[in-house]
Amino acid sequence: MPELPEVEVSRLGISSHLVGQTITAVIVRQPKLRWPISDELKLAQGQQIKAVKRRAKYLLIDIGIAHIVLHLGMSGKLRVVPASVQPIKHDHLDLVLASGKCLRFNDARRFGACLWQPAGELLPQLRNLGPEPLTEAFTSQHLFTLSRGRKTPVKSFIMDNEVVVGVGNIYANEALFMANIDPRRAAGRISLQRYQKLTKDIKEVLASAIQQGGTTLKDFTQSDGSPGYFRQHLRVYGRAGKACEQCEGTISSVVIGQRNTFFCPRCQR
Protein backbone atom coordinates (compact mmCIF):
# COMPACT_ATOMS: atom_id res chain seq x y z
CA MET A 1 0.00 0.00 0.00
CA PRO A 2 1.40 3.44 -0.88
CA GLU A 3 2.44 5.22 2.30
CA LEU A 4 3.04 8.93 2.99
CA PRO A 5 6.31 9.20 1.02
CA GLU A 6 4.76 7.54 -2.04
CA VAL A 7 1.72 9.84 -1.87
CA GLU A 8 3.96 12.89 -1.49
CA VAL A 9 6.08 11.75 -4.44
CA SER A 10 2.88 11.44 -6.49
CA ARG A 11 1.84 14.95 -5.43
CA LEU A 12 5.20 16.38 -6.46
CA GLY A 13 5.03 14.52 -9.77
CA ILE A 14 1.61 15.77 -10.85
CA SER A 15 1.53 19.29 -9.37
CA SER A 16 3.43 21.08 -12.13
CA HIS A 17 1.09 19.60 -14.74
CA LEU A 18 -2.11 20.51 -12.87
CA VAL A 19 -1.72 23.83 -11.05
CA GLY A 20 -3.16 26.69 -13.12
CA GLN A 21 -4.93 24.36 -15.52
CA THR A 22 -8.68 24.40 -16.14
CA ILE A 23 -10.54 21.10 -15.99
CA THR A 24 -12.41 20.81 -19.29
CA ALA A 25 -14.02 17.41 -18.73
CA VAL A 26 -14.48 14.74 -16.07
CA ILE A 27 -14.65 11.16 -17.32
CA VAL A 28 -15.74 8.48 -14.86
CA ARG A 29 -15.50 4.94 -16.23
CA GLN A 30 -15.95 3.12 -12.93
CA PRO A 31 -17.84 4.97 -10.16
CA LYS A 32 -17.65 2.10 -7.66
CA LEU A 33 -14.35 2.49 -5.88
CA ARG A 34 -13.85 2.16 -2.11
CA TRP A 35 -16.63 4.74 -1.81
CA PRO A 36 -18.89 5.62 -4.78
CA ILE A 37 -17.73 8.62 -6.82
CA SER A 38 -20.17 11.48 -6.20
CA ASP A 39 -22.11 12.98 -9.09
CA GLU A 40 -20.90 16.33 -7.73
CA LEU A 41 -17.53 15.61 -9.30
CA LYS A 42 -19.04 16.88 -12.57
CA LEU A 43 -19.05 20.35 -11.00
CA ALA A 44 -15.26 20.35 -11.41
CA GLN A 45 -15.68 20.95 -15.15
CA GLY A 46 -14.72 24.53 -15.95
CA GLN A 47 -12.89 25.04 -12.65
CA GLN A 48 -9.22 26.03 -12.39
CA ILE A 49 -6.85 23.96 -10.27
CA LYS A 50 -5.34 26.25 -7.65
CA ALA A 51 -3.12 23.81 -5.74
CA VAL A 52 -2.40 20.14 -5.14
CA LYS A 53 -2.05 19.42 -1.42
CA ARG A 54 -1.66 16.38 0.79
CA ARG A 55 -3.18 15.47 4.14
CA ALA A 56 -2.01 12.14 5.54
CA LYS A 57 -2.30 9.73 2.58
CA TYR A 58 -4.96 11.82 0.82
CA LEU A 59 -4.26 14.13 -2.13
CA LEU A 60 -6.41 17.25 -2.26
CA ILE A 61 -6.86 19.00 -5.60
CA ASP A 62 -8.03 22.53 -4.76
CA ILE A 63 -10.46 23.91 -7.35
CA GLY A 64 -11.82 26.76 -5.23
CA ILE A 65 -15.41 25.57 -4.90
CA ALA A 66 -14.22 22.24 -3.48
CA HIS A 67 -11.35 19.83 -3.09
CA ILE A 68 -11.18 16.69 -5.19
CA VAL A 69 -9.82 14.21 -2.64
CA LEU A 70 -7.92 11.22 -3.97
CA HIS A 71 -6.68 8.16 -2.10
CA LEU A 72 -4.49 5.58 -3.84
CA GLY A 73 -5.71 2.65 -1.74
CA MET A 74 -3.57 -0.46 -2.18
CA SER A 75 -2.77 -0.31 -5.89
CA GLY A 76 -3.79 3.13 -7.17
CA LYS A 77 -1.61 5.04 -9.62
CA LEU A 78 -1.84 8.56 -10.99
CA ARG A 79 -0.43 9.44 -14.40
CA VAL A 80 -0.46 12.62 -16.46
CA VAL A 81 -0.86 11.60 -20.10
CA PRO A 82 -2.16 13.16 -23.33
CA ALA A 83 -5.94 13.01 -23.21
CA SER A 84 -5.87 11.30 -26.61
CA VAL A 85 -4.09 8.24 -25.17
CA GLN A 86 -6.54 5.35 -25.05
CA PRO A 87 -7.37 4.16 -21.53
CA ILE A 88 -6.21 0.74 -20.43
CA LYS A 89 -7.78 -1.75 -18.06
CA HIS A 90 -8.51 -0.28 -14.61
CA ASP A 91 -8.25 3.35 -15.80
CA HIS A 92 -11.30 4.47 -13.83
CA LEU A 93 -11.15 8.27 -13.92
CA ASP A 94 -9.80 11.13 -16.06
CA LEU A 95 -9.62 14.81 -15.22
CA VAL A 96 -9.12 16.34 -18.67
CA LEU A 97 -7.13 19.58 -18.71
CA ALA A 98 -7.09 22.58 -21.04
CA SER A 99 -3.46 21.71 -21.85
CA GLY A 100 -4.64 18.64 -23.75
CA LYS A 101 -3.39 16.33 -21.02
CA CYS A 102 -5.35 14.50 -18.36
CA LEU A 103 -4.81 13.20 -14.87
CA ARG A 104 -5.66 9.51 -15.10
CA PHE A 105 -6.40 7.33 -12.07
CA ASN A 106 -5.76 3.60 -12.40
CA ASP A 107 -6.65 1.20 -9.59
CA ALA A 108 -6.72 -2.55 -10.20
CA ARG A 109 -8.04 -3.46 -6.74
CA ARG A 110 -10.49 -0.54 -6.49
CA PHE A 111 -9.63 0.20 -2.85
CA GLY A 112 -8.74 3.77 -3.80
CA ALA A 113 -11.14 6.69 -3.72
CA CYS A 114 -12.18 9.94 -5.36
CA LEU A 115 -14.21 12.10 -2.97
CA TRP A 116 -15.82 15.54 -3.20
CA GLN A 117 -15.19 17.97 -0.34
CA PRO A 118 -17.08 21.28 -0.73
CA ALA A 119 -15.20 24.42 0.28
CA GLY A 120 -15.42 25.05 4.02
CA GLU A 121 -16.33 21.46 4.83
CA LEU A 122 -14.24 18.55 6.08
CA LEU A 123 -14.85 14.96 5.08
CA PRO A 124 -15.20 12.39 7.88
CA GLN A 125 -12.07 10.68 6.52
CA LEU A 126 -10.02 13.83 7.26
CA ARG A 127 -11.31 14.49 10.76
CA ASN A 128 -9.51 13.53 13.99
CA LEU A 129 -6.14 13.23 12.26
CA GLY A 130 -2.89 13.75 14.14
CA PRO A 131 -0.12 16.13 13.06
CA GLU A 132 1.87 15.74 9.87
CA PRO A 133 5.17 14.05 10.79
CA LEU A 134 7.36 16.41 8.78
CA THR A 135 6.04 19.54 10.47
CA GLU A 136 6.98 21.29 13.70
CA ALA A 137 3.66 20.17 15.19
CA PHE A 138 5.04 16.63 15.46
CA THR A 139 7.28 16.54 18.52
CA SER A 140 8.67 14.08 21.02
CA GLN A 141 6.61 15.74 23.75
CA HIS A 142 3.48 15.07 21.68
CA LEU A 143 4.33 11.36 21.47
CA PHE A 144 5.37 11.15 25.12
CA THR A 145 2.20 12.83 26.40
CA LEU A 146 -0.18 10.73 24.29
CA SER A 147 1.64 7.51 25.15
CA ARG A 148 1.30 7.73 28.94
CA GLY A 149 -0.63 4.74 30.23
CA ARG A 150 -0.80 3.11 26.79
CA LYS A 151 -0.15 -0.64 26.76
CA THR A 152 -0.39 -0.89 22.97
CA PRO A 153 2.88 -1.80 21.19
CA VAL A 154 4.85 1.27 20.22
CA LYS A 155 4.74 0.27 16.55
CA SER A 156 0.94 0.30 16.57
CA PHE A 157 1.02 3.57 18.51
CA ILE A 158 3.07 5.47 15.93
CA MET A 159 0.96 4.00 13.10
CA ASP A 160 -2.24 5.38 14.66
CA ASN A 161 -3.41 8.27 12.45
CA GLU A 162 -4.91 10.03 15.47
CA VAL A 163 -1.42 10.13 17.00
CA VAL A 164 0.52 11.08 13.86
CA VAL A 165 -0.46 10.64 10.24
CA GLY A 166 1.35 8.74 7.55
CA VAL A 167 3.80 6.56 9.49
CA GLY A 168 2.94 3.38 7.62
CA ASN A 169 4.25 -0.12 8.15
CA ILE A 170 7.48 0.11 6.16
CA TYR A 171 8.64 3.35 7.76
CA ALA A 172 7.52 2.43 11.27
CA ASN A 173 9.77 -0.64 11.06
CA GLU A 174 12.70 1.40 9.78
CA ALA A 175 12.34 4.28 12.27
CA LEU A 176 12.09 1.95 15.27
CA PHE A 177 15.25 0.17 14.12
CA MET A 178 17.07 3.49 13.79
CA ALA A 179 15.92 4.43 17.30
CA ASN A 180 16.91 1.00 18.71
CA ILE A 181 13.38 0.49 20.10
CA ASP A 182 11.75 -2.94 20.18
CA PRO A 183 8.45 -2.57 18.25
CA ARG A 184 6.71 -4.83 20.78
CA ARG A 185 7.37 -2.55 23.76
CA ALA A 186 4.39 -0.83 25.33
CA ALA A 187 4.18 2.78 24.15
CA GLY A 188 3.63 3.95 27.71
CA ARG A 189 6.90 2.44 28.92
CA ILE A 190 9.14 4.45 26.61
CA SER A 191 10.91 7.50 28.05
CA LEU A 192 10.83 11.04 26.71
CA GLN A 193 14.51 10.75 25.82
CA ARG A 194 13.83 7.72 23.64
CA TYR A 195 10.84 9.43 22.02
CA GLN A 196 13.15 12.34 21.17
CA LYS A 197 15.32 9.95 19.16
CA LEU A 198 12.31 8.20 17.61
CA THR A 199 10.70 11.49 16.51
CA LYS A 200 13.93 12.54 14.83
CA ASP A 201 14.26 9.16 13.11
CA ILE A 202 10.65 9.15 11.85
CA LYS A 203 11.25 12.53 10.25
CA GLU A 204 14.57 11.38 8.81
CA VAL A 205 13.30 8.13 7.29
CA LEU A 206 10.24 9.77 5.73
CA ALA A 207 12.24 12.67 4.28
CA SER A 208 14.83 10.26 2.88
CA ALA A 209 12.13 8.09 1.32
CA ILE A 210 10.57 11.11 -0.40
CA GLN A 211 13.98 12.14 -1.71
CA GLN A 212 14.51 8.63 -3.10
CA GLY A 213 11.11 8.61 -4.82
CA GLY A 214 9.34 6.33 -2.35
CA THR A 215 9.53 2.56 -2.00
CA THR A 216 8.52 0.22 -4.80
CA LEU A 217 7.66 -3.23 -3.45
CA LYS A 218 4.94 -4.34 -5.86
CA ASP A 219 2.41 -1.84 -7.18
CA PHE A 220 3.79 1.64 -6.55
CA THR A 221 5.52 3.64 -9.27
CA GLN A 222 6.10 7.37 -9.56
CA SER A 223 3.81 9.45 -11.78
CA ASP A 224 6.25 9.05 -14.68
CA GLY A 225 6.22 5.25 -14.31
CA SER A 226 9.65 4.93 -12.69
CA PRO A 227 10.05 2.96 -9.44
CA GLY A 228 10.82 4.36 -6.02
CA TYR A 229 14.39 3.68 -4.98
CA PHE A 230 14.13 3.73 -1.17
CA ARG A 231 13.76 -0.07 -1.21
CA GLN A 232 17.53 -0.24 -1.64
CA HIS A 233 17.93 1.51 1.73
CA LEU A 234 15.65 -0.72 3.81
CA ARG A 235 17.57 -2.07 6.81
CA VAL A 236 14.99 -4.34 8.45
CA TYR A 237 11.74 -4.35 6.47
CA GLY A 238 11.38 -7.58 4.49
CA ARG A 239 14.75 -8.89 5.74
CA ALA A 240 13.65 -11.63 8.16
CA GLY A 241 16.36 -14.27 8.54
CA LYS A 242 19.06 -12.01 7.10
CA ALA A 243 21.98 -10.49 8.96
CA CYS A 244 21.50 -7.19 10.75
CA GLU A 245 23.70 -4.55 9.10
CA GLN A 246 24.43 -3.07 12.52
CA CYS A 247 25.35 -6.07 14.72
CA GLU A 248 25.33 -9.05 12.29
CA GLY A 249 22.61 -10.74 14.35
CA THR A 250 19.53 -12.18 12.64
CA ILE A 251 16.53 -10.03 11.73
CA SER A 252 13.32 -11.41 13.25
CA SER A 253 9.72 -11.10 12.15
CA VAL A 254 6.51 -11.06 14.19
CA VAL A 255 2.95 -9.92 13.52
CA ILE A 256 1.80 -6.79 15.37
CA GLY A 257 -1.64 -5.43 14.66
CA GLN A 258 -2.03 -7.82 11.71
CA ARG A 259 1.05 -6.32 10.05
CA ASN A 260 4.40 -8.02 9.46
CA THR A 261 6.97 -6.46 11.73
CA PHE A 262 10.74 -6.73 11.33
CA PHE A 263 13.35 -5.96 13.98
CA CYS A 264 16.75 -6.91 15.35
CA PRO A 265 16.44 -8.56 18.81
CA ARG A 266 20.00 -7.51 19.65
CA CYS A 267 19.84 -3.87 18.63
CA GLN A 268 16.27 -3.06 19.61
CA ARG A 269 15.11 -3.13 23.21
Class of domain 140-263 (CATH, top level) = mainly alpha
The pLDDT value given to residue 232 = 57
Q: Is the pLDDT of residue 217 over 50?
A: no
**In this predicted model, what pLDDT tens digit does every residue of 57-115 receive, in sequence order?**
999 999 999 999 999 999 899 999 999 999 999 999 999 999 999 999 999 999 999 99
Write out pLDDT tens, residues 194-215.
Answer: 999 999 999 999 999 998 875 5
Percentage of residues in the chain with pLDDT exceeding 90? Answer: 88
Q: What is the pTM of this model?
A: 0.88
Confidence of residue 1 (pLDDT cuts 50, 70, 90): low
Predicted confidence (pLDDT) per residue in 6-39, tens digit: 899 999 999 999 999 999 999 999 999 999 999 9
Q: Residue 157: is its pLDDT beyond 80?
A: yes
- pLDDT > 70 fraction of the chain, expressed in percent and rounded: 93
Pick out the residues of the known binding site: 90, 109, 150
- Catalytic site residues? 2-3, 57, 259
- Residue 230 pLDDT exceeds 90: no
User: Mind spelling out the 3-state secondary structure of the chain?
Assistant: CCCHHHHHHHHHHHHHHHCCCEEEEEEECCCECCCECCHHHHHHCCCECCEEEEECCEEEEECCCEEEEEECCCCCEEEEEECCCCCCCCEEEEEEECCCEEEEEECCCCCCEEEEEECCCCCHHHCCCCCCCCCCCCCHHHHHHHHCCCCCEHHHHHCCCCCCCCCCHHHHHHHHHHCCCCCCCEHHHCCHHHHHHHHHHHHHHHHHHHHCCCECCCCCCCCCCCCCEHHHHCCCCCCCCCECCCCCCECEEEEECCEEEEECCCCCC
Q: What is the pLDDT of residues 60-70, one digit of tens each?
A: 999 999 999 99
* Distance between CA atoms of residues 233 and 225, nearest Å: 20
Domain residue spans of the chain: 4-126, 140-263
Annotated binding site for DNA: 90, 109, 150
Q: How confident is the model at residue 233 (pLDDT cuts 50, 70, 90)?
A: confident
Q: Is the pLDDT of residue 231 over 70?
A: no
Give the pLDDT mean for 155-176: 96
How does the average pLDDT of the chain come out, rounded?
A: 92
pLDDT > 60? residue 135: yes
Residue 226 has pLDDT above 90, yes or no: no
CATH architecture entry for 4-126: Alpha-Beta Barrel (3.20)
